Amino acid sequence: MAEEATEGAYAPYSKFYVGAVVVASNGKEERIFTGANVENASYGLTVCAERVAVFKAVTEGYRMIKEVYIVAKDERGNVVEKVAPCGACRQVIYEFSDGAVIHTPSGSYTIEELLPAGFRLDEG
C-alpha cells in the first residue's frame, strides 16, 4: 500500500516520491491511513508522506500509531532502498505512539531506535 501511495506524491522539485501507510488505533479499533509527500516552491512548506498519514489518522480520532510503512521511488520509478523518516516525522510519530514500528525497504525499527531522545510535553 505504501508503494501505491507514492502515486499521490507531488514532487516536481526533488523527483523523490514517498508513500506512507500508518496503522493507528482509537482504543477500540485499528485503521489504515495513507499519505504522500507534497512539495512546495517554498521548500520549507513541503510536507512528508509520514506526517500526512499521521495527521490524517489524528484528525480522524486515531491517535495511537502502531506501525508506519514507508516506500520512496526515484524519478525513474525505482524503489529507493535506503529511506527513513526525517527528524520532524520521527518526533511526530513518537508523540502519537508507544513503541511504533517503522518498516522501510531496508528493515524495520522501533521509533525509540530511530529517535532515542524523543519527548512528549506531559513527560515533564
Give the tens place of pLDDT for each residue, 71-83. 999 999 999 999 9
Give the tens place of pLDDT for each residue, 84-95. 999 999 999 999
- Please check the confidence at residue 124 and state whether its pLDDT lies above 60: no
Report yes or no: 51 and 57 within 8 Å, Cβ to Cβ: no
Told to judge if 3 belongs to the known catalytic residues of this protein, a careful annotator would answer no
What confidence score (pLDDT) does residue 50 get? Answer: 98
- DSSP-derived pairing of the beta strands 30-36 and 17-25: antiparallel
Buried b (16+ CB within 10 A) or exposed e, 72-86: bbeeeeeebeeebbe
User: What total of structural domains would you count in the chain?
Assistant: 1
Active-site annotation holder among 3, 30, 50, 112: 50
Give the tens place of pLDDT for each residue, 11-64. 999 999 999 999 999 999 999 999 999 999 999 999 999 999 999 999 999 999
* pTM attached to this predicted model: 0.94
What confidence score (pLDDT) does residue 71 get? Answer: 98
Q: In which domain, by residue range, is 119 found?
A: 2-123
Q: Which CATH number is 34's domain given?
A: 3.40.140.10
**Vertex 95, ends 80 and 102: CA angle to 5°?**
25
